[in-house]
Amino acid sequence: MIDCIRKGKIINMMTPKLSNSMADLVRLLLQWLGMEDHQQTLLLFHYPLLLLFIILLFIFSFSIIFRQEKLNLPPSPPKIPIIGNLHQLSMDLHLAIHNLSQKHGPLMMLSLGYCQTLVVSSAEMVREIKLHQEIPFADRPVTTAVKMLNYGGINLFFSPYGEYWRQVRKIYVMELLSSKRVQSFKCSREDEVALMINKISLSCSVGASVNIRELVTRLTMDIVCRCAFGRIHQGQDGHAHFGDLVDETVKLFTAFSFGDLFPWLGWMDILTGLIGRIKKVSRKIDNYIDQIIDQHLIQSEHSNSDCNKDFVDILLDVQKNDTSFTRDNIKAFILDNLAAGTETTSTTIEWAFAELIKNPTMMKKVQEEVRRVVGTKGKVDEEDLHQMEYLKLVVKETLRLHPAGVLILGQSSTITNVKGYHIPAKTQVLINVWSVHRDPQQWDKPDKFIPERFLNNPIDFKGQDFKYIPFGSGRRGCPGISFGIAVVEIAIANLLYWFDWKMPSGEDLDMREGFGLSVNKKIPLELVPISHFSA
């Protein structure tokens, strides 16, 4: 093999780079993983294997390059053999690919190890894909974490586009998250918000600050658990423990995996402990949801009244009418809702408050509106929200400037053509919503928080105007829009009605972002509540 490569003059071209940068390349991979502390141990025991695999990857990467020269691919930043463009990324992935797109265009191809990734960064390109290429791009990549945590990717978010996906989405739209069903959870939302307000009132009595992120994360978890399970589970092995499991699951979905980018290096995920962590969390969540399902089966009277049904009841009814709908399907659906419906919702509430604290004039305006609408009745009803026009503008602008789902994932099912560029089959797609929402060609002063930009503006959350897609767009748009917005609006309205808010003495507002499943505030928001109705 070496003779053949030498005859092809590939080895002569690559040897200097290989000899000069092999150690740097291994170190780069380890640093990208945040594993500098274990560098020497890994190199001591696994350097020969790494060397072998890297040489094989060099050969494979050049075969890919030679094949791609025949295709007219979108522009791409300069690549390094094997790792491609990985060295140009950072933990703030949305910002890194935004900056690269500023140089190479709104349709850009990145090589992330073995994976070819198309980055879409403008409303024009989103429109092109969603209107003319939606079905070829309707699949989703299934990662190592997804396969192990989401039962092989049989949930709505990751299941491949096709008949099964259509059946799954129908269950969501017609049963789990229909307008009627969302309305039936009204009492759950109001009860949990009231508990949160009482907790904040205790802090007011002693003048203590509160961690907004902790408050709203607990709130959203409580609401989603009540809707999914019918009740809150407390105690050492109950709700708090389960909330930690969901949080760990969300982190694992975005964890770096060697096997996802370099299939031949999947064994490294065992060495780094990733596989062990996934198995441990998966086993615990699986056992926990199994217990919930068994309890629902025993307590059959719980499902007698349709208006009191929770997600587990609804899915068990689906199973009765469809024997192919297994218990794993039910568990995948439940985990889907818990993972997607908690962090994204709580992040939106936290960002809204951060922006209002940063803009006190807007804070005063929205508070006056909320208190005027509610009046003296002492309770914020969800019906009141229809009259809170400025509050709705604040929520819309928060989701523009700080979209919870900052990256929309996709994957091409076949070779296709976008604006004259060839896109190979199995190409992963990243729509950078952060870039789309800050496109200066579409938005005036795009980096400024201006709720009034949505006044008398017909743009809604459904993604039909491709410059505003906080919940995605098209066939694979999020079906939980109504549910999520209902929680966000009732929470913000109550927090503004009952309390005035200020920063702790001597502290500055830090608006830096942190990347995860959603883009939250890097530093959790800490505020001092002041009761508006104190004597």
Indicate the annotated binding residues.
478
Rounded distance, CA 108 to CA 101, Å?
Answer: 7
Rounded distance, CA 518 to CA 253, Å?
Answer: 11
Rounded distance, CA 166 to CA 477, Å?
Answer: 13
CB 125 within 8 A of CB 419: yes
Q: Parallel, antiparallel, or unpaired for β 520-521 and 513-514?
A: antiparallel
Rounded distance, CA 388 to CA 94, Å?
Answer: 32
**Locate tokens 């927090």: which residue?**
495
**Locate tokens 């935004």: which residue?**
98
- Mark the binding-site residues for heme, compressed into ranges: 478
Identify the CA nearest to 121 among candidates 409, 422, 431: 431
Rounded distance, CA 208 to CA 504, Å?
Answer: 9
CA dihedral 111, 113, 115, 116 (to 10 degrees): 10
CB 365 within 8 A of CB 392: no
Residue 378: partners with Cβ closer than 8 Å, 6 or more residues away: none
Tokens of 193: 């918000």
Chain centroid, CA 506 distance in Å: 33
Identify the CA nearest to 489 among candidates 369, 375, 377: 369
Residue 246: partners with Cβ closer than 8 Å, 6 or more residues away: 221, 285, 338, 339, 342
